[in-house]
């Protein structure tokens, strides 16, 4: 839980750092663009002022000539005006208004009616400018007005005072479009621009893809008593020069890296947690395995004790025989002594000692089988001896129950390294099961075969008994599976035999045909 919070903190910190860097770079970029726009805007304002002043200056020179000549004949005036307009391309038209405010002359002549109409329509702006110019005896500019074909324009008025007496006005009508195209061309400006006067757009050059909400700069431009406003945006060239992919890249990489970092941390911790859990589980399993091994060894031991019960009759018989021989010799001993038959006495004692040895070896084998052998070291023993000693315990029983025992042990079998007592226990268990299987059969045969195949010792225990039903054959190696009556079978013999053979690196398998018999095959590695 704790490391999920840490992963979250890493992600949030990384994201905050990335967004912060992106924001900083963007602000820096906008500052660069802003200063570019500011310098362009400043230049445009300057050029507009200079250009307009120059244009007005030319008009002033025309007015000076009028005053100097004390009025100019119409032809001369028209010639001057046309020359002037060809040279100063921003003019829409020129006019002379007499001292009674009547329009007298217009250049070009074809625009007489248009100019007259225009000036009468906007007479209040125009009259204001006339009055202002007359009063101040210098240049005045009207408020913007609508030209017939050329958008917005304005009127520049110059009062004429030849010999100090007022003689009307020289009027220049400008088109904003013409004026601005001359100015922008002269200054090679490609910046989007809008010009406004008294809240009205008088000129606009804004490409469609300009984002009007961004990096806009407003500059106030006072001209001859009027206030124009210029709005500028960064041009495409400024944008492509100043904008870069760096902020977006920083943001994307930053977010990706913080995401990766946080998830790597999260997964690393997950893996560590899982590893720890696995280690705990492994430890648990190890303890459980130890427990199972202990239980198994206890089970092996207890089934072995059960087998001991089975063997009791055989053992009793085995011990009985030497005891009878001892008793007989002991009985005869005093008689031989009385008859002074020393040789016979010695022979009796020798026989007694031989029988005691035999009884001792039986008891030794029995004690050996009875103790817990699970932790015994593997020892090398003769394969033949291993099989014969297992059979020895039961031979008597087989005889008493009229069971024919067939022994077929291949000659010169190699030694085998194993836990002798455990393998004996397996064989004993198979032989006891075979014995029980033939109990009610007509033909009672139990056999044991041993031979070598490759590097394995193969021991087959077979019988002519009842066989195993097909629905039981898959379960006979399961612990506690038994078909024997209560008290006779534990159902543990085969499951323990299976475990013992597996521990020896071998294999145990079964084949059975109902009514005909069963064969168990034990395979043990020879090296
Ligand atoms: P138990 O002998 O105590 O029943 P085992 O595990 O040795 O336990 O045997 C399980 C069962 O397998 C037996 O009860 C019996 O039904 C069957 N079985 C084992 N060996 C033979 C055999 N040779 N012939 C027929 N059935 C057998």
Interaxial angle between packed helices 246-338 and 493-503, expressed in degrees from 0 to 180 and rounded to the nearest 10: 110
382 and 453 share a domain? yes
329 and 458 share a domain? no
Which residue pairs from 176-181 have beta carbons closer than 8 angstroms and sit at least 24 positions apart in sequence? Answer: 176/144, 176/151, 176/152, 176/202, 176/203, 177/150, 177/151, 177/152, 177/203, 178/89, 178/90, 178/91, 178/92, 178/150, 179/48, 179/51, 179/52, 179/55, 179/90, 180/48, 180/205
354 and 405 share a domain? no
Q: Which of 214, 241, 268 is the last residue of a domain?
A: 241
pLDDT confidence of 313, banded at 50, 70, 90? low
pLDDT at 42 over 70: yes
Q: How confident is the model over 444-455, as pLDDT tens digits? A: 999 999 999 999
Tell me how many domains the chain contains. 3
Residue 307 pLDDT = 63
pLDDT confidence of 411, banded at 50, 70, 90? very high
Q: Which of 334, 355, 371 is the last residue of a domain?
A: 371
pLDDT at 49 over 60: yes
In a domain, 287, yes or no: no
**Ligand 1 cavity residues, CB under 6 Å:** 429, 433-434, 437, 463, 465-466, 468, 476, 481-484, 489-495, 518
Residue to mutate (ligand 1; options 303, 467, 494; most atoms within 8 A of CB): 494
pLDDT confidence of 507, banded at 50, 70, 90? very high
In a domain, 280, yes or no: no
* Whole-number Å distance between alpha carbons of 194 and 196: 7
pLDDT confidence of 39, banded at 50, 70, 90? confident
Provide the b/e sequence for 14-23 (b: ≥16 CB within 10 Å): bbeebeebbe
In a domain, 281, yes or no: no
Residue to mutate (ligand 1; options 303, 433, 467, 510; most atoms within 8 A of CB): 433
Q: Considering only CA atoms, which residue is closest to atom 7 of ligand 1?
A: 493
* Whole-number Å distance between alpha carbons of 136 and 152: 26
In a domain, 286, yes or no: no
99 and 226 share a domain? yes
Share of the chain above pLDDT 70, in %: 92
**Averaged confidence pLDDT in the chain:** 86
Q: Considering only CA atoms, which residue is closest to atom 12 of ligand 1?
A: 476
pLDDT at 302 over 70: no
In a domain, 358, yes or no: yes
345 and 429 share a domain? no
Q: Which of 348, 371, 394 is the last residue of a domain?
A: 371
236 and 385 share a domain? no
Alpha carbon of 433 to ligand 1 centroid (Å): 5
Do residues 248 and 22 touch, judged by C-beta distance below 8 A?
Answer: yes
* Whole-number Å distance between alpha carbons of 303 and 432: 12
In a domain, 297, yes or no: no
Alpha carbon of 309 to ligand 1 centroid (Å): 17
350 and 390 share a domain? no
pLDDT at 370 over 60: no
The CATH number for 473's domain is: 3.30.565.10
Residue 488 pLDDT = 76
318 and 381 share a domain? no
Alpha carbon of 491 to ligand 1 centroid (Å): 7
217 and 235 share a domain? yes
Q: Considering only CA atoms, which residue is closest to atom 3 of ligand 1?
A: 489
Residue 489 pLDDT = 77
84 and 114 share a domain? yes
Q: What is the mean pLDDT of residues 325-350?
A: 88
pLDDT confidence of 314, banded at 50, 70, 90? low
**How many other β-carbons are positioned within 10 Å of the β-carbon of residue 463?**
27
pLDDT at 407 over 90: yes
In a domain, 498, yes or no: yes
327 and 413 share a domain? no
Q: What is the mean pLDDT of residues 160-189?
A: 85
Structural domain including 118 reads 2-241
In a domain, 258, yes or no: no
Which of 139, 166, 135 lies closest to 155 in space, CA to CA?
139
320 and 445 share a domain? no
What is the distance in angstroms between the CA of the first residue and the CA of the last residue of the chain? 55
Alpha carbon of 492 to ligand 1 centroid (Å): 9
Q: What SS3 state is found at 376? A: coil
Residue 371 pLDDT = 56
Task: Return the top range by mean pLDDT from 129-138, 156-165, 434-443, 483-492.
Answer: 434-443
Residue 463 pLDDT = 97
Sign, CA dihedral 489-494-499-503, equals positive
Do residues 389 and 365 touch, judged by C-beta distance below 8 A?
Answer: yes
Residue 35 pLDDT = 87
Q: Considering only CA atoms, which residue is closest to atom 20 of ligand 1?
A: 433
Judged by average pLDDT, the poorest of 218-222, 280-284, 295-299, 476-480 is 295-299
The CATH number for 132's domain is: 3.30.450.20
pLDDT confidence of 301, banded at 50, 70, 90? low
């Amino acid at each position: 839980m704790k490391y999920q919070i840490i992963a979250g903190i890493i992600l949030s910190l990384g994201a905050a750092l990335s967004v912060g860097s992106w924001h900083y770079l963007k602000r820096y970029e906008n500052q660069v663009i802003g200063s570019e726009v500011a310098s362009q805007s400043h230049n445009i304002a300057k050029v507009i002022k200079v250009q307009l002043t120059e244009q007005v200056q030319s008009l002033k020179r025309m007015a000076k000539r009028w005053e100097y000549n004390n009025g100019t004949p119409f032809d001369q005036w028209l010639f001057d005006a046309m020359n002037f307009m060809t040279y100063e391309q921003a003019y829409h038209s020129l006019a002379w208004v007499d001292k009674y405010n009547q329009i007298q002359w217009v250049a070009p002549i074809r625009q007489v009616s248009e100019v007259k109409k225009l000036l009468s329509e906007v007479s209040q702006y125009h009259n204001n400018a006339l009055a202002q110019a007359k009063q101040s005896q210098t240049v005045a500019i009207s408020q913007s007005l609508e030209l017939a074909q050329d958008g917005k324009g304005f009127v520049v008025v110059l009062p004429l005072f030849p010999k100090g007496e007022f003689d009307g006005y020289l009027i220049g009508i400008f088109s904003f479009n013409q004026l601005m195209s001359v100015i922008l061309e002269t200054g090679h400006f490609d910046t989007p621009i809008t010009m406004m006067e008294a809240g009205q757009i008088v000129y606009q050059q804004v490409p469609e893809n300009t984002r009007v909400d961004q990096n806009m700069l407003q500059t106030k431009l006072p001209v001859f008593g009027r206030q124009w406003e210029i709005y500028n945006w960064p041009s495409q060239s400024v944008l492509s020069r100043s904008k870069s992919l760096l902020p977006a890249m920083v943001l994307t990489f930053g977010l990706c890296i913080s995401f990766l970092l946080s998830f790597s941390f999260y997964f690393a911790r997950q893996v560590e947690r899982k590893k720890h859990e696995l280690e705990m589980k492994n430890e648990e399993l190890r303890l459980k395995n130890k427990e199972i091994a202990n239980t198994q060894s206890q089970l092996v031991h207890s089934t072995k004790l059960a087998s001991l019960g089975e063997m009791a009759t055989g053992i009793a018989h085995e011990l009985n025989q030497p005891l009878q021989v001892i008793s007989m010799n002991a009985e005869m001993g005093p008689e031989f002594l009385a008859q002074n038959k020393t040789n016979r006495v010695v022979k009796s004692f020798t026989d007694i000692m031989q029988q005691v040895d035999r009884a001792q070896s039986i008891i030794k084998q029995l004690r050996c089988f009875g103790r817990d052998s699970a932790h015994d070291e593997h020892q090398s023993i003769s394969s033949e001896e291993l099989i014969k000693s297992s059979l020895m315990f039961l031979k008597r029983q087989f005889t008493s129950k009229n069971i024919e025992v067939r022994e077929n042990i291949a000659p010169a079998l190699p030694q085998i390294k194993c836990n002798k007592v455990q393998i004996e226990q397996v064989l004993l268990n198979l032989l006891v099961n075979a014995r029980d299987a033939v109990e009610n059969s007509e033909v009672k045969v139990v056999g044991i075969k041993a031979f070598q195949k490759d590097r394995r010792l193969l021991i087959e225990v077979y019988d002519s008994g009842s066989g195993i039903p097909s629905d039981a054959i898959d379960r006979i190696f399961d612990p506690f599976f038994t078909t024997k009556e209560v008290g006779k079978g534990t159902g543990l013999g085969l499951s323990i035999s299976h475990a013992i053979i597996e521990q020896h690196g071998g294999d145990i398998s079964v084949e059975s045909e109902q009514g005909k018999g069963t064969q168990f095959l034990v395979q043990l590695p020879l090296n």
